[in-house]
Amino acid sequence: MKNAFVKNILCIGAGYVGGPTMAMIAYKCPQYKVTVVDINHERIAQWNSDLLPVYEPGLGEIVGAVRGRNLFFDTDIDRCIKEASIIFVAVNTPTKVFGAGAGMAADLQYWEKTARQIREAAGSPKIVIEKCTIPVKTALAMERILTSKEGSVSFDVISNPEFLAEGTAMRDLEFPDRVLIGSRETAQGIRARREIADIYANWVPKERIIESNIWSSELSKLVANAFLAQRISSINAVSALCEKTDADVQEVARAIGLDSRLGSKFLNASVGFGGSCFKKDILNLVYLCRSYGLNEVADYWESVVKINEYQKDRFVLTMLSAMFNTLAGKKIALFGFAFKADTGDTRETPALYVAKSIVEERAELVITDPQALRNAMADLDGVDNITYEIDPYKAAAGCDAIALMTEWKLYTGLDYERIYASMMKPAFIFDGRNVLDRKRLFEIGFNVFSIGKTPMVHV
């Protein structure tokens, strides 16, 4: 029987982007059949199970509502390519670790393999959408690969970058600030991008769906991440100055954030930004600028990453100097390991740098996190002197210090009197997110160190 769906949409790559974005499209558009494929069969099996491979508030409910109705997770990539008319590509584009551009450029091997596979399996015209974050001008390479076969069918390459943030992915997908769709400015290109706009128009207000030329769209994604990360590095740079001058970084952030030209978001000073994308996308931008001979522009953006490294280092050095210049033999609890709250993702988490530095100082480490312990164990595989404990009270017991790495709500509501009573004295707390009530902690007896604030130390 021929299926009754009006469109067959495919997404190649079932990760943090592919899974949630397609779940939202399927949820909002019951008239479309949406399939997600991946070379990682275990990941597909997890998407088909009750234990999804991605922790994201609200995701389980939406997948539960549409899986088997119009959302499918599959491993037969060739067949699914053949059957689809619209193909999103959401494979990973990590920083290259080998050869030219190692440590800076985007590694496009997964993306390129996908393009070749689409070309071989297509059989009929397709709209191919860059959902993953790629260097500007990648669409040109994609078009060349797709059309390099004699007698090949026609392909339209569209750029539709994803702006969701982890932890709020479902909200970001349901109520996006904007959806950006770029194409070639030809009649065919514009027709193809309208077709993609029609998908989003099922739930996104029309004025929030914006269209542009394809290069602007590709570049906007890198620039959006660079601007967001730049704000964090700016406020983190200020936090270092606050610590020297008795200014309070949260008071400064509030004062400047009320200027409507600046806005109040993304001004939380922290132990540093993490996540799979900010660093990789900025380095990618830096590499692009250098490859066009724009060295001053490249240096400017590279400084955003340098300040982030400096901030993580400063955090560890503050711990060291506060605790009498030695951590050897001490026991330290890390509260949180995920790169931000409400996700189990630990990619580029500042907690990894802090954990490794603490162990290098020969301290014993206990890591607690409500969602990220599985990833933490994998990240720190082979590193000795670390235990993992889901219960923060047990994690802190017998410790000399707590370092709060992730702003999980759970950590603000704990009974810190009970925790203090169970710790070694003097007890230290290093709040890498400025979320704890520092006055209260100081009254309890802790020596309190926050980001960008004068330390509160019992003499």
φ/ψ of residue 403, rounded to 5: -115, 115
Contact call for residues 180 and 212 (beta carbons, < 8 A): yes
Q: Is 344 one of the binding residues for ligand NAD (CB under 6 A)?
A: no
Angle at 248 between CA 247 and CA 253, to 5 degrees: 115
Residue among 275, 336, 370, 432 that touches ligand UGA (CB under 6 A): 275
Establish whether 277 is a catalytic residue: yes
3-state secondary structure of 256: helix
Residue among 228, 282, 316, 366 that touches ligand UGA (CB under 6 A): 228
Q: Among residues 218 and 407, whose Cβ is nearest to ligand NAD?
A: 218
Smallest distance, ligand NAD to C-beta of residue 50, A? 19
Sign of CA dihedral 155, 156, 157, 163: negative
Contact call for residues 351 and 336 (beta carbons, < 8 A): yes
Angle at 418 between CA 416 and CA 422, to 5 degrees: 110
Residue among 92, 225, 371, 450 that touches ligand UGA (CB under 6 A): 225
Residue among 13, 135, 167, 272 that touches ligand NAD (CB under 6 A): 13
Q: Beta strands 428-431 and 401-404: pairing type?
A: parallel
Structure tokens, 2? 């021929």
Q: Is 432 one of the binding residues for ligand UGA (CB under 6 A)?
A: no
Smallest distance, ligand NAD to C-beta of residue 345, A? 7
Contact call for residues 419 and 351 (beta carbons, < 8 A): no
Partner that binds at residue 274, options ligand NAD, ligand UGA, none, CB closer than 5 to 8 Å by kind: ligand UGA
Sign of CA dihedral 202, 203, 205, 211: negative
φ/ψ of residue 185, rounded to 5: -90, 40
Q: Is 133 one of the binding residues for ligand NAD (CB under 6 A)?
A: yes
Q: Among residues 38 and 431, whose Cβ is nearest to ligand NAD?
A: 38
Q: Is 232 one of the binding residues for ligand UGA (CB under 6 A)?
A: yes
- Name residues contacting ligand UGA, limited to 339-378 (CB under 6 A): 339-340
CB under 6 A: which stretch of 92-100, 244-252, 271-279, 293-301 binds ligand UGA? 271-279
DSSP string, 72-92: EEES-HHHHHHH-SEEEE---
> By the criterion CB under 6 A, which residues form the site for ligand NAD?
12-18, 38-40, 43, 90-93, 110, 113-114, 132-133, 162, 164, 166, 276-277
Positions marked active-site: 277
> By the criterion CB under 6 A, which residues form the site for ligand UGA?
133, 162-166, 225, 228, 232, 266-268, 270, 273-275, 277-278, 339-340
